[in-house]
């Protein structure tokens, strides 16, 4: 593009906002990072087409944390010290947002996680925010859905014990299920490094649950679903959380997962005008439908740019204060208000796997 100083090379730093984004662009959860990056890039394009923020263009520097918490912390430190970013976007996985959030908070650089749902993430300190609901709510709504909509009582749990998101959400579901008078017949946990789930699945099957709650990431759910089918467990016995949402779940295990439900942030076919506006723009740019991660990535970036525009100064502290004051921000995933604990209170979308596609089923509210 045309440079304001008429020269070549990068713009002088003062002519643009630098925002850092750290994501899993390689490694175990690559699709989380890629989807989020696409949503974020759409937001950057849009804001810059409108002239940027306070007359300055926005540049987002993307860093790959290789799906690793330690690497996430390193990349965030680099974005802060080397690149002098005013704010940070990331991560998807709660384990990585928590690790890197500690670094952001210590250095007083505001960070917004698009989709990390574990309650611990924002407890790190005053500089860490999220634009999604939390797993206490997600677990609660999951249990209520099983009890009240599916009319099932006997459940089994299957989750990764060494993953913050997975073990946390399993626990929240279990607590609510107990309150609802449901019965747990089996609880099986595995390590993230495991790939063979047949023994757990057979043990679960012999305990005769009506539902298997498996709050795991898509990369674990795909082999679980395939091995479950081989063990004679139908896909529609599974209920999960947002971690399932990745194209590969339906392309690699769509048949095995037929009929399964999960709680989520968004579905491209949800009947909301603001969501449909986003879907249209996304499809125009990428020629396919956005995932929840893309929508959350878009919302985290747009909300940040809005806060930068409202901030009383251009410093990270002023931006932090403006993020904290966000009310009724119209996002692609719904209206976002940041609460006193730096979380977003949002309705939960229930999605069903149907004909190898994610299909909107319902929207449920916390209150
Ligand atoms: N909520 C998950 C976590 O906290 C991340 C996730 C969000 C994964 C949305 C997929 C879709 O780790």
Long-range contacts made by residues 10-16, C-beta under 8 angstroms, separation at least 24? 11/57, 13/84, 15/56, 15/57, 16/52, 16/56, 16/57, 16/58, 16/59
pLDDT digits (tens, 9 = 90+) for 130-161: 999 999 999 999 999 999 999 999 999 999 99
Model pLDDT, residue 1: 38
Residues 238, 214: contact at Cβ < 8 Å?
Answer: yes
Burial class of residue 206 (count of CB atoms within 10 Å of its CB; 0-12, 13-18, 19+)? exposed
Q: Is the pLDDT of residue 5 over 70?
A: no
Please tell me the predicted confidence (pLDDT) of residue 223: 98
pLDDT (0 to 100) of residue 8: 58
Kindly tell me if the per-residue pLDDT of 2 is higher than 60: no
Say yes or no: CB of residue 96 within 6 Å of ligand 1: no
Question: Over the chain, what is the mean pLDDT?
Answer: 95
Q: Is 139 in the pocket of ligand 1 (CB under 6 A)?
A: no
Q: Quote the ligand 1 centre to 133 CA distance (angstroms).
A: 10
Q: Is 93 in the pocket of ligand 1 (CB under 6 A)?
A: yes
The CA–CA distances, whole Å, from 189 to 68, 160, 206, 275, 289 equal 21, 5, 16, 36, 33
Q: Is the CB of 242 under 6 A from ligand 1?
A: yes
Q: What is the pTM of this model?
A: 0.95
Hey, whose CA ends up nearest to atom 7 of ligand 1? 115
Residue 4 has pLDDT above 90, yes or no: no
Q: Is 116 in the pocket of ligand 1 (CB under 6 A)?
A: yes
Confidence check: pLDDT of 268 > 50: yes
Q: Which two tokens stand for residue 8?
A: 């070549």
Q: Could you tell me if the CB of 117 is within 6 A of ligand 1?
A: yes
Of 169, 172, 202, nearest in space to 188 by CA: 202
Q: Distance between CA 120 and CA 108 in Å, rounded?
A: 18
CA-92 nearest atom, ligand 1: 5
Asked whether the predicted pLDDT for residue 261 surpasses 60, the reply is yes
Separation of alpha carbons 159 and 216, rounded Å? 6
Contact 44, 61 (CB under 8 A): no
Report the pLDDT averaged over residues 199-208. 98
pLDDT at 13: 53
Ligand 1 centre distance from Cα of residue 166 (Å):
9
CA distance 357 to 351: 10
pLDDT at 363 over 90: yes
| β partners of residue 61 | 20
Q: What is the pLDDT of residues 300-315, one digit of tens each?
A: 999 999 999 999 999 9
CB distance 89 to 109 below 8 Å: no
- The whole-number pLDDT of residue 191 equals 98
pLDDT tens digits along 50-85: 999 999 999 999 999 999 999 999 999 999 999 999
Give kind and range of the element (H or E) at residue 331.
strand 329-331
Checking if the pLDDT of 252 tops 90, the result is yes
Complex-level ipTM: 0.98
Query: Contact, 64 vs 279, CB < 8 A?
Result: no
Residue 7 has pLDDT above 80, yes or no: no
**Closest CA to ligand 1's atom 4:** 116
What's residue 6's pLDDT?
Answer: 47
Mean pLDDT over residues 4-32, rounded? 80
Query: Is the CB–ligand 1 distance for residue 245 below 6 Å?
Result: yes
Q: Which atom of ligand 1 is nearest to the CA of 166?
A: 12
Q: Whose CA is nearest to atom 6 of ligand 1?
A: 243
Residue 9 in this model has a pLDDT that exceeds 70: no
State yes or no: pLDDT of 24 exceeds 70.
yes
CB of 292 shorter than 6 A to ligand 1? yes
Alpha helices in the chain (DSSP H): 30-49, 69-81, 94-106, 120-123, 135-144, 164-179, 198-206, 218-230, 247-253, 273-286, 292-310, 316-324
Q: What are phi and psi of 21, to 5 degrees?
A: -125, 130
Ligand 1 within 6 A of 98 CB? no
């Amino acid at each position: 593009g045309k440079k304001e100083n008429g020269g070549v090379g990068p713009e002088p730093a003062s002519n643009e906002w630098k925002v850092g984004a750290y994501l899993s662009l390689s490694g175990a959860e690559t699709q989380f990072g890629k989807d989020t990056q696409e949503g974020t890039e759409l937001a950057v394009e849009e804001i810059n087409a409108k002239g940027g923020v306070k007359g300055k263009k926005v540049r987002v520097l993307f860093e790959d944390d290789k799906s690793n918490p330690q690497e996430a912390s390193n990349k965030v430190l680099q974005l802060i010290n080397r690149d002098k970013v005013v704010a940070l976007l990331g991560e998807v996985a709660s384990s990585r947002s928590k690790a890197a959030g500690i670094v952001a908070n210590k250095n007083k650089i505001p960070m917004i996680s698009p989709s990390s749902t574990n309650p611990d993430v924002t407890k790190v300190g005053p500089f860490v925010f999220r634009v999604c609901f939390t797993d206490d709510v997600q677990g609660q709504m999951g249990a209520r859905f099983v009890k009240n909509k599916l009319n099932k009582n006997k459940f089994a749990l299957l989750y990764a014990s060494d993953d913050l998101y997975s073990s946390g959400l399993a626990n929240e579901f279990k607590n609510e299920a107990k309150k609802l008078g449901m019965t747990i017949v089996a609880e099986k946990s595995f390590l993230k490094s495991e790939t063979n789930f047949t023994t757990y699945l057979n043990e679960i099957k012999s305990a005769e649950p009506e539902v298997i709650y498996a709050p795991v990431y898509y990369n674990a759910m795909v082999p679980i679903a395939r091995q479950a089918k081989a063990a004679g467990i139908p896909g529609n016995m599974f209920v999960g959380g947002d971690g399932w949402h990745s194209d590969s779940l339906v392309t690699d295990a769509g048949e095995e997962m037929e009929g399964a439900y999960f709680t989520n942030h968004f579905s491209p076919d949800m009947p909301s005008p603001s969501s449909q506006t986003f879907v249209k723009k996304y499809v125009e740019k990428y020629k396919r439908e956005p995932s929840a991660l893309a929508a959350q990535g878009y919302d985290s970036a747009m909300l940040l740019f809005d806060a930068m525009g409202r901030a009383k100064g251009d410093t990270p502290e002023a931006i932090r204060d403006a993020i904290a004051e966000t009310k009724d921000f119209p996002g692609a995933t719904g209206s976002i208000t940041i609460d006193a604990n730096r979380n977003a209170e949002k309705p939960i979308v229930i999605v069903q796997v149907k004909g190898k596609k994610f299909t909107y089923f319902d929207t449920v509210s916390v209150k």
